[in-house]
Structure 1
Amino acid sequence: MTTPIRTVMSPGRYVQGKGAIERLGEFVAQIGSSPLIVSDDVVWGFAGEQVTASFAAADLRVERVAFGKFATAAVVDALVEKILETKADVIVGVGGGSTVDAAKAAGYLAGIRWVSVPTVASTDAPTSALAVIYNEEGEFVEYRFFPRNPDLVLIDTQIVANAPVEFLIAGVGDALATWLEARATAAANATTMAGGLPTQTGTALAKLSWDVIWENALPALDAVRDNLVTPALEKLVEANTLLSGLGFESGGLAAAHAIHNGLTAAPQTHGLTHGQKVNIGSMAQLVLEGAPRAEIEDFIEFTTLVGLPTTLTEIGLTLDDEKELQAIGKAATLPGETIHNMPFVVTADDVVDALKSIERLSRSVRKARGLPAPVKYVQKHAPVLVGAH
């Protein structure tokens, strides 16, 4: 029998700051000499000029392949072929979570190094040693795990500030789950995504991400509404991206992200961001835990003020959608799902009951605290799909 180990994983280098993308070539040149860039047309439209200039300054070629919408198995395989065709020795994913994940997965299969350049702080995908693969309809298919993290993660906070605020809101939803899941994993002494038992480091970073978010999220979101880079935004971007990334990978995932994966089985949720669905998973996890009433009420108030959903209504579901709710519960509790890291057994029926219960619970708290009543979310921008988990 193998002796259990505790382990921490992290990217080789993390770079963050206003104008950081102007130095991308400098850092990529330390990793490889023949890069292949993966980026969708929208992202390339606002970042391509700076990336090209930075590569030219570092005497690197600019070889780019356009990315679509989902990190599917077919998309990853096509990228591998492009890597071989262009003789690339490092792949650079520039864009949202799925772009970054596709680059990581292709880089691993092709046996080259990989770089994450997120243009939004909407998930903690960029730092991790895993990717999420979807089907063509955007439904979760599988996690793919890699033996190492990206060699470089670089995020330009001015680009984050210029992006629609909804993306940063989604990042808050994703990152808030990190501590809730890490503490559950620690209580269960369960295995983390890093392939070992949780470390004090991973758990502590998860808690730090939670604390930084509660202190800085609201002023940071206001800054982004005015396209400004402030200290609060810098702190929130680091919490959403680095702290949450290290925290989830080496601290552990539990119910919140498993329920997110289950929610992808409901067509009504396909227009939502990863973080919006994760926040519903966090709500359901708090209910499953029987968390203190004050903690749940504070979580509802804070995430409502941030702009995240806390009811089924807001994600397009109702209590009468029995077929979809059962499908969600079944998918969330499949063998191997992270919900089994909870320190107690969770069944599909438990998940359904928890999801149903948050409707009345959230409505009553929001009414008591003078917060807006729930309305269905309308996705104004193309969803940024999860990359990391």
Structure 2
Amino acid sequence: MAVLKLLRAPSKYVQGKGALLKFYEETKNLGDSYLFICSNSGYKMCQEKIEKSFEGSNGKLHFEIFGGISSNGEISRMRKIIQDEKINVVVGVGGGSAIDTAKACAYYENLPVAIIPTVCATDAPCTGLSVIYNDDGTFDTYIFYPKNPDAVLVDSEIIAKAPAKFLVAGMGDALGTYFEARACVRTDSPSLENGGISLSAMALCELCYKTLLKCGYQAKKACENNLVTPALESIIEANTYLSGVGADNGGLAVAHSVYNGFTALEECEATMHGSIVAYGTITQLLIENAPKEEIKEVMDFCHSVGLPITLKEMGVTDVKRVMIAAEKACAPGESIHNMAGDVTPDQLYDALLAADLLGQDYL
């Protein structure tokens, strides 16, 4: 039987300058006792606006700063607060780890979850999954949820005040969305939600890529100067909604496997997720033998916003070590196996080095 097509998204997505001042208004249907699981910076940037949004309401608020990693221990600690204080809405405030912790707590306690991202570095806010770590920081598991978040609120003013490197990393993550989904469609591979890929999902993925090309450079400039412009608003939506809902319903291929592979190299520990995904996207295009105009378009984009197009820019100076990453990227169960004709570690290694040569030429 053919795989049934499937499309999932957050129930509500709200974005704009000062959106947090409307937080209570937009989420009051979810409950009246809120736990805000915050990163340090998330608390500093958002607490005042959130409290203001509750003025004159009977909503109860509890702010809790979490330990920095979406670990089993932190999830247990937050669940105890939820039970003790009879919380009925969980909110994640911060980057990917705070968001993943909030999603996990809400799932285990069977409560609605709202998300307030403070950076646009990944597509965590809109997706129906979390990455969970052991208490020592090593990877434990992915949790796939039966639904996506109930509400996602993005205050553009807060994103504009965050360092521009996060916005750029988010563009790198978003860059893979269209090309990975396109590869999955070719091989009839399922999406991250384990369904067939709908026309609507592909349209979101394609719009994500077109928006990056059109607005990426201007958005980076605006963010570097803490300005909220139409281009920045467009990139916030591309990084958060189009990429998140697109990847969830589109599927992954080489670009994200390359990221997983490069996590094995300690020299890449400081390199952001989106930077490696961008390099993986160029690598994927070489494996597909994509038209040279398309490869150039992607490299032009990466270079214009400051995403890596060489191994050196990712921190890799010894090319022999790339084989370690290539082998890990091709492990059983990796999304690279969604490619037509499959990809071996040798083929991936050659493509990763070929991408580096093209990048060196380009520079």
Post-superposition shift, 1:207? 0.2
Q: Which residue of 1 aligns with 2:347?
A: 350
Amino acid at match of 1:333: C
- Alignment partner for residue 338 of structure 1, among 335, 339, 351? 335
Matched residue type, 2:123: D
Residues 1:162 and 2:161 are matched in the alignment: yes
Alignment-mate amino acid for residue 304 of structure 1? H
Q: Aligned equivalents of 2:288 and 2:72: distance in 1?
A: 35
SS at match of 1:346: coil
Unpaired runs of 5+ residues, structure 2, are: none
Deviation, 1:137, is 6.9
Q: CA contact under 8 A between 1:36 and 1:88: conserved in structure 2? A: yes
- Alignment of 1:250 onto 2:263: no
SS at match of 1:62: strand
Paired residue type of 1:365: Y
Shift of 1:342: 1.5
Amino acid aligned to 1:53: K
**What is the alpha-carbon distance in structure 2 between the residues aligned to residue 125 and residue 36 of structure 1?**
19
Distance 2:266 2:41 in 1: 25
Q: Distance in 2 between matches of 1:20 and 1:170?
A: 23
Greater shift after overlay, 107-116 or 154-163?
A: 107-116
Superposition deviation, residue 294 in structure 1:
2.3
Q: 1:211 aligns to what SS in structure 2?
A: helix
Deviations 1:283-329 (A, max 9, x none): 2212221222222222112101101111111111124442xx33322
Once the two structures are superposed, residues 354-377 of structure 1 have per-residue CA deviations (whole angstroms, 9 ceiling, x without a partner) of: 2222221101022xxxxxxxxxxx
| Cα distance, 1:182 vs structure 2 | 0.8
Tell me which residue corresponds to 1:377: none
Alpha-carbon distance, 1:227 to partner: 1.1
The one of the two structures with greater contact order (alpha-carbon pairs below 8 A, sep at least 6) is 1
The CA RMSD measured in Å over matched residues stands at 1.7
Would you say the 8 A contact 2:114–2:150 is kept in 1?
yes
SS at match of 2:6: coil
- Residues 17/363 of structure 1: CA separation in 2 closer, same or farther (3 Å cut): same
Match for residue 383 of structure 1?
none
With over 3 angstroms needed to count, the CA separation of the structure-2 counterparts of 1:70 and 1:277, relative to structure 1, is: farther
1:234 is aligned to 233
Q: How many residues align?
A: 363
Specify the alignment match of 1:54 in structure 2.
53
In the TM superposition, residue 135 of structure 1 has moved relative to its aligned partner by 4.9
Q: Aligned equivalents of 1:267 and 1:73: distance in 2? A: 24
Residues 11-39 of structure 1: per-residue CA shift (max 9 Å, x gap): 00000000001111222211112111111
User: What corresponds to 1:259 in structure 2?
Assistant: 258
Look up the equivalent residue of 1:124 and give its one-letter code: D
SS at structure 1 position matched to 2:131 = strand
Amino acid at match of 1:38: I
CA distance in 1 between partners of 2:75 and 2:149 (Å): 16
Distance verdict in 2 for CA 1:205–1:132, change over 3 Å:
same
Instruction: For residue 181 of structure 1, report the CA deviation from its aligned partner.
Output: 0.5
Query: What is the CA distance between 1:249 and its match in structure 2?
Result: 0.9
Equivalent position SS for 1:271:
coil
- The 2-side partners of 1:335 and 1:355 are apart by 19
* Structure 1 spans left out of the alignment, 5+ residues: 367-389
Using structure 1 for the length normalisation, give the TM-score: 0.89
Per the TM alignment, residue 60 of structure 1 is displaced from its structure 2 partner at its CA by 1.7
Identify the residue that residue 6 of structure 1 maps to in structure 2.
5
Following superposition, the deviation at residue 80 of structure 1 comes to: 2.5
AA at the equivalent of 2:41 = V
Residue 203 of structure 1: aligned partner: 202
Contact 2:3–2:190 under 8 Å retained in 1: no
Q: Is 1:295 aligned to residue 327 of structure 2?
A: no
Q: How does 1:59-70 map to 2 (within 5 A)?
A: 59-70=58-69
**Partner Cα separation in structure 2 for residue 70 and residue 357 of structure 1:** 35
CA offset at residue 250 of structure 1? 0.9
CA distance in 2, matches of 1:37, 1:338: 34
- Aligned-pair distance for 1:85? 2.6
Letter in structure 1 aligned against 2:226: N
> Does the C-alpha gap of structure 1 residues 266 and 274 become closer, same or farther in structure 2, counting only changes over 3 Å?
same
